């Protein structure tokens, strides 16, 4: 039994008619064909007034056979009610109804097993023993004599009816169970899809994270390598600058040493020249002194000779 076959069952139609009337069956058939419909579409397809359709739907809503969701129309500004059918609720109501009927029939069966019943064959009116005694075993409608009913025939009929109802209840319960299993399987698939999509998303995120981490690691490596290269370059530059400085220092030192050497040489030459001058001056002085000494000596000698000559003259 599928959804369409279930909706077309006579006991389902009877139930819906009892709840909301004859037109409600058409509404149920229309909702069963589509998942969600708003009341304007239902009224236009069934050619019924919107308010009447709304009243039918509210009656069904009271029994929880249908549910609604509302949405505001962006152009007109009023609320639009969209309706959904719940077949599970119809199944529950049918099962409940049939079980109640079974309990009533079982009560009748228990009463009839105790009491004796009589029936009017022309009218079909049924009476228990007390009622038959009160009416002198005559029909109160037509006056015909009442006939005693066989208990076995009644029991057979009741048992057949009860058995049929039990079978119908079982069929409905099986149908409900199958639908629930389908719904569970559907939800499981949806969950699996969601979980799968989440897993895929997680994997993508992990990949992205890994990619990002790899990129960051690469960037870090590159930055480190760049840093190292820059450090090496800086060190090389420093070494070059140091070597340059040392070379320049050496050159300066050499120059200074050369200049100092030259200065020393100049000083030496100046000193030597000065020494030479001094020597010359000393020699000149010594020569002058010698000359003066010789002159003085000559003068002394001359004086001595003059004294000696004077002394000789005197003597």
Residue-wise pLDDT for 92-103, tens only, equals 999 999 999 999
Residue 311 has pLDDT above 60, yes or no: yes
Q: Report yes or no on 5 lying in a domain.
A: yes
> Which of 28-37, 144-153, 300-309 has the lowest average pLDDT?
300-309
**Positive or negative CA dihedral for 57, 62, 68, 69?**
positive
Q: Residue 94's pLDDT is what?
A: 93
Distance CA 309, CA 315 (A): 10
Q: Report yes or no on 77 lying in a domain.
A: yes
Q: Which domain does 61 fall in, by range?
A: 1-85
DSSP state of 137: T
The tally of domains found in the chain comes to 1
Residue 281 has pLDDT above 60, yes or no: yes
Q: Report yes or no on 15 lying in a domain.
A: yes
230 half-sphere exposure, CB direction, 13 A CA radius: 6
Q: Residue 144's pLDDT is what?
A: 85
Residue 285 has pLDDT above 70, yes or no: no
CATH of the domain at 13: 1.10.10.10
- What are the CA-CA distances from residue 98 to residues 105, 108, 166, 168 (Å)? 10, 15, 8, 8
Distance CA 4, CA 7 (A): 5
pTM score, whole prediction: 0.53
With cut-offs at 50, 70 and 90, classify the pLDDT of residue 280: low
Distance CA 117, CA 122 (A): 16
Q: Report yes or no on 277 lying in a domain.
A: no
With cut-offs at 50, 70 and 90, classify the pLDDT of residue 120: confident
pLDDT one-digit tens code per residue, 46-87:
898 999 999 999 999 999 999 999 888 778 778 888 999 999
pLDDT one-digit tens code per residue, 191-213:
888 777 767 667 767 767 666 66
Distance CA 244, CA 196 (A): 68
Q: Report yes or no on 170 lying in a domain.
A: no
Q: Report yes or no on 25 lying in a domain.
A: yes
Tell me the pLDDT of the chain averaged across its residues: 79
Q: Which residues pair with 68 in a beta bridge?
A: 83
CA angle 289, 294, 299 (to 5 degrees): 120
Q: Report yes or no on 160 lying in a domain.
A: no
Helix intervals (H) in the chain? 3-7, 10-20, 22-33, 39-46, 50-62, 87-114, 129-134, 151-314
With cut-offs at 50, 70 and 90, classify the pLDDT of residue 312: low
pLDDT one-digit tens code per residue, 224-270:
777 777 777 777 777 777 777 777 766 776 676 666 666 666 566 65
Q: Residue 135's pLDDT is what?
A: 84
> Which of 76-80, 122-126, 250-254, 287-291 has the lowest average pLDDT?
287-291
121 half-sphere exposure, CB direction, 13 A CA radius: 6
Q: Report yes or no on 308 lying in a domain.
A: no
With cut-offs at 50, 70 and 90, classify the pLDDT of residue 17: very high
């Amino acid at each position: 039994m599928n959804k369409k076959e279930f909706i077309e069952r006579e006991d389902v139609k009877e139930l819906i008619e009892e709840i909301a009337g004859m037109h409600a069956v058409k509404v149920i058939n229309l909702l069963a064909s589509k998942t969600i419909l708003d009341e304007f579409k239902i009224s236009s397809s069934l050619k019924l007034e919107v308010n009447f359709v709304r009243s039918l739907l509210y009656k069904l809503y009271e029994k929880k056979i249908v549910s609604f969701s509302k949405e505001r129309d962006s152009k007109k500004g009023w609320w639009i009610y969209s309706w959904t059918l719940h077949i599970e609720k119809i199944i529950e109501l049918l099962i409940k109804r049939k079980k109640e009927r079974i309990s009533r029939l079982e009560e009748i069966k228990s009463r009839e097993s105790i009491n004796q019943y009589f029936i009017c064959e022309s009218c079909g009116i049924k009476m228990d023993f007390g009622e038959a005694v009160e009416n002198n075993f005559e029909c109160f409608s037509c006056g015909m004599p009442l006939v005693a009913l066989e208990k076995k025939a009644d029991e057979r009929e009741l048992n057949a009816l009860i058995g049929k109802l039990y079978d119908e209840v079982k069929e409905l319960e099986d149908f409900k169970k199958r639908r629930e299993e389908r719904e569970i399987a559907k939800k499981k698939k949806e969950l699996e899809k969601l979980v799968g999509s989440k897993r895929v998303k997680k994997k993508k995120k992990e990949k992205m994270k890994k990619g990002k981490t790899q990129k960051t690691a690469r960037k870090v490596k590159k930055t480190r390598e760049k840093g190292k290269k820059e450090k090496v370059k800086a060190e090389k530059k420093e070494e070059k600058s140091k070597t340059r400085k040392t070379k320049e220092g050496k050159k300066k030192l050499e120059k200074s040493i050369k200049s100092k050497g030259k200065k020393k040489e100049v000083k030496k030459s100046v000193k030597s020249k000065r020494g030479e001058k001094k020597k010359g001056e000393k020699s000149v002085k010594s020569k002058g002194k010698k000359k003066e000494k010789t002159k003085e000596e000559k003068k002394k000698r001359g004086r001595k000779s003059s004294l000696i000559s004077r002394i000789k003259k005197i003597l």
